[in-house]
A and B are shown apart, each in its own frame.
Chain A
Amino acid sequence: MAPPANRRSGFSRRAQYTTFFSYTAGVLGAVLGLGLLAISLTNHDAFGPFRTIAADVTEPAAEAGAKTRVAGKGLVATVSGFFRTGTQQARLQRELDEAKSRLVQAQAIETENRRLKALLGLRDDNPGPVTYARLTASTGGSTRRFATLGAGRDRGVVKGMPVRSATGLVGRVLEVGASTSRVLLITDTESLVPVRRARDGVPAFAQGHGDGTIRIRLVNLGINPLRKGDVMATSGSGGLYRPGTPIAVVTELLRDGAIARVISNPSDTDYVLVEKAWALAEPPPLSSEPQAK
């Protein structure tokens, strides 16, 4: 196919000027884009309000999309479940028996914990979730991992609140709009969560790896104590994330850490909980003034 003939300006002054000005406008657009980019790179929050307004406006469509997504997943699960009912039933029965005895143990431990905490004078302040909502959208085409949450200022969401699902940590709130908020998922490369091994408390950092897995970086270097299958949970260092929320399972060992799989895959979760940002209690004041020499 040959290009349309009307794009050749020929000797017409008018056509030449039109071509010239359209190119100029294109270059101006690129220059303006460079300027906007420079502003947003130096000040990350500069265009946040526009983003939240756009998310608020498109929320109904995103919410409908989220519902369709969940329904589709449910349909697939129903059909595949039909074929696996028998073996699944047997396995679940076995697991349930096991879980029942574990539950009794856990209740005993919880009672003991409460008693010991009371002895130490610690109080267990878990105020419960702020709200629950759906993750309605995410940045599937970008290397950054942001998601949009279907709850904003209207339901008491504040910047910095951790977001979790029933199974594990999902991320934290970055920007809050009127009825939506923007969540930085834990799989983003900028997200850094202080974690510890759930079993014995080996401290580490969990950083997003960019491809949906998580990179565990140990705080203490030396012999790598991690093993495949270790569960990492938040440690609560630095505040923000409540300690003890499971986040990832180690799948591959590296020299100075590990690659871990996220426990709570946000694409599988229907609703997520928004929790209050966890703040460390102030250390008790020193009993006496430091002695002046």
Chain B
Amino acid sequence: MALLPRFGTPASAPRINRAPSSLVAHGLPWVTIVLGSMLPSWLMIASAPVLPPLGFLIFIAWRQLRPGLLPIWAGLPLGMADDLFSGQPFGSAVLLWSVAAIVLELIEARLPWRNFLTEWLVAIGLIVAYVALCLGIANLGGGSAPVRVVLPQIIISMLFYPLSGRFVAAMDRLRLKPIVVLR
């Protein structure tokens, strides 16, 4: 696969006379997150909440992989985009994503050393809180779904998070691919 690095030649290493495009380098995270928000709605006509909140997972994964790349206020525009497709009352993702970004920032400042397990545990905490709060907000907005309805979604999202982390890592390599010809 082209996205996987070949031995000895990391894909992000600048090749002769090439540099990464700054548009791709800065825009790709936003694009992947918005696409992640849209994708679950296209996969199936679901009759129960079974698909993970992919936009949120990719958002957390980007923030964990590249802490400074997305600004803390990125939850505002990205959450708005997510709210247009998620079916939640408008504003729910704006609020929850912004709070999640701040919480993640605070946790990162206090955890000096990180590894796969701690990052996954932090993400699991955020995912459980996010899905539960989404349920609460949806119920405020007219629904009356019980908590047991979201249990499958929580488990699927927890297990799916490392995969979305891999996806984000692949996108990160793509992001820094030297494609612009220097003159």
Contacts and interface: CB of A to CB of B under 8 A. Distances in A.
B47 A25 contact: no
Interface string A116-145: 000000000000000000011111111111
Classify the interface of chain A: helix, strand, loop or mixed. Answer: mixed
A267 B98 CA distance: 33
A148 B41 contact: yes
B40 A140 contact: yes
Interface stretch (A26-34, A86-94, A217-225, A227-235): A26-34
Interface in B57-110: 67-68, 71-73, 75-76, 79, 83-99, 101-102, 105, 108-109
B107 to A, nearest CB: 11
Interface size class of B (residues with CB under 8 A): 35 or more
Contact of B105 (A2, A26, A35, A55): A26
Nearest to A28: B73
A146 B87 contact: yes
A140 B79 contact: no
B95 A139 contact: no
Interface string B6-27: 0000000000000000000000
A2 B111 CA distance: 9
Interface stretch (A38-46, A75-83, A105-113): A38-46
A2 B146 CA distance: 41
A6 interface: yes
A136 B45 CA distance: 8
Given A7-B68, A54-B85, A141-B153, A26 B73 contact: yes
B47 A266 contact: yes
Contacts of A144: 87-88, 138, 141-143
Interface in A7-38: 7, 22-23, 25-30, 32-38
Given A2-B114, A51-B90, 9 more contacts: A26-B72, A36-B95, A39-B90, A46-B90, A50-B84, A137-B85, A140-B51, A147-B45, A211-B148
Interface of A: 1-4, 6-7, 22-23, 25-30, 32-41, 44, 46-47, 50-51, 54-55, 58, 61-62, 65-66, 69, 135-148, 185, 187-190, 210-212, 262, 265-267, 269
